């Protein structure tokens, strides 16, 4: 009838800057459903199941310890090499998982997006939230080894700055989400990017001070060391090791700049994602 009003009205977005956060909140139950799906289905038909959450960082840390500490002779100060590597790998893994999973959002969910309406940004948000559980398990493993080395009278001690460690993880999640949405939007037109992501992430890990300290790169890289010193990920990982182990350096100004840059990347990624979702079904 003429006087009737619809409860919800679905219309195309008319502005690139239009974000309906209330709509995302209305679909919070769907968001939690996708989070649950990501957690349950990841290792659903594997023998070891969630144990892979533990095996992956442990094996990676052991290999890095052998190659970079034993063979290459990279020093870790007073910190046991394995614990040094585990701290970097644990922090890095959260960013890596967020980036690689969100970078394939449109391509991976094209069947759902083509049939049912809901705010598309819910998908990458669900990935970032579900990866927090995986990070929590891996961080618990780090804490267990930390206590072991602490009890065995090594030169590590609790650091008061550890209370700010969640800030590092938030920045890692924001960077992974923002960059992932940018890549996902570009993959709808340039499929080759999906094949380059795995290689790019691997290369980025070596440029992000995961297995060494920023303080040690100046003499080895010379004028090229700025590539790592000003890498936001390297700054966050170096800061995380300082907070967790008391080894390394922390620069408050760099952290503020990194936090601001993370927000800028997130906003830019959301803008591109918002624009792409209008027409991606025609190009994917």
Q: What is the pLDDT along the chain (284 residues), one digit of tens a residue?
A: 455 566 655 555 555 555 566 777 787 888 888 888 877 776 665 555 667 777 888 888 888 888 888 887 777 778 888 999 999 999 999 999 999 888 887 777 777 776 777 778 888 898 899 899 889 988 999 999 999 888 886 677 778 888 899 999 999 999 999 999 888 888 877 776 777 888 888 889 888 888 888 877 766 666 667 778 888 999 999 999 999 988 777 888 888 999 999 999 999 988 888 877 766 555 55
**d(Cα 127, Cα 130) in Å, to the nearest integer?**
5
Spatial separation of the C-alpha atoms in residues 218 and 272, rounded to whole Å: 37
* Distances in whole angstroms, Cα of residue 201 to Cα of each of 41, 61, 95, 103: 24, 17, 10, 11
CA 181, CA 185: separation in Å to the nearest integer?
Answer: 6
Q: Which pair of structure tokens corresponds to residue 36?
A: 């649950």
Specify the DSSP class assigned to residue 45. Answer: T
Enumerate the domain spans of the chain.
49-283
What pLDDT is recorded for position 1? Answer: 46
Separation between Cα atoms, residue 142 and residue 80, nearest integer Å? 13
Indicate the DSSP class of residue 77: T
The number of beta carbons lying within 10 Å of the beta carbon of residue 20 is: 11
In this prediction the pTM is 0.84
- Find, among 182, 203, 173, the residue nearest to 103 by Cα: 182
How far is it, in rounded angstroms, from Cα 248 to Cα 210?
12
Nearest to 209 by CA among 198, 220, 193: 220
Nearest to 161 by CA among 223, 250, 238, 261: 250
38 near 126, Cβ under 8 Å? yes
Tokens linked to 61: 């840390």
Main-chain phi, psi angles of 108, to 5 degrees: -75, -30
Nearest of 211, 31, 179 to residue 100 by alpha carbon: 179
Q: How far is CA 167 from the centre of its chain?
A: 13
φ/ψ region of 49 (left if φ > 0, alpha if ψ in -120 to 50, else beta) reads: left
pLDDT at 5: 63
């Amino acid at each position: 009838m003429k006087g009737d009003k619809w409860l919800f009205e679905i219309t195309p977005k008319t502005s690139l800057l239009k974000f309906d956060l209330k709509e995302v909140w209305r679909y919070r139950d769907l968001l939690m459903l996708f989070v649950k799906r990501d957690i349950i289905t990841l290792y659903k038909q594997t023998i070891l199941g969630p144990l892979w959450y533990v095996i992956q960082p442990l094996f990676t840390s052991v290999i890095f310890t052998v190659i970079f500490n034993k063979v290459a002779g990279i020093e870790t100060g007073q910190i046991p090499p394995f614990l040094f590597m585990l701290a970097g790998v644990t922090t890095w893994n959260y960013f890596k998982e967020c980036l690689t999973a969100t970078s394939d959002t449109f391509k991976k969910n094209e069947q759902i997006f083509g049939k049912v309406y809901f705010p598309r940004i819910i998908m990458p948000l669900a990935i970032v939230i579900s990866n927090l559980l995986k990070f929590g398990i891996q961080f618990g493993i780090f804490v267990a080894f930390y206590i072991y080395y602490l009890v065995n009278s090594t030169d590590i001690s609790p650091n008061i700055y550890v209370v700010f460690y969640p800030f590092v993880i938030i920045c890692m999640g924001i960077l992974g989400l923002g960059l992932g949405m940018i890549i996902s939007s570009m993959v709808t037109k340039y499929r080759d990017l999906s094949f380059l992501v795995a290689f790019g992430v691997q290369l980025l890990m070596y440029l992000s001070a995961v297995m060494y300290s920023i303080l040690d790169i100046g003499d080895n890289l010379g004028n090229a060391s700025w590539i790592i010193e000003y890498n936001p990920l390297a700054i966050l990982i170096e800061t995380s090791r300082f907070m967790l182990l008391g080894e390394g350096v922390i620069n408050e100004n760099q952290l503020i700049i990194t936090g601001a840059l993370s927000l800028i990347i997130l906003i830019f990624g959301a803008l591109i994602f918002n624009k792409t979702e209008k027409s991606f079904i025609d190009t994917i």
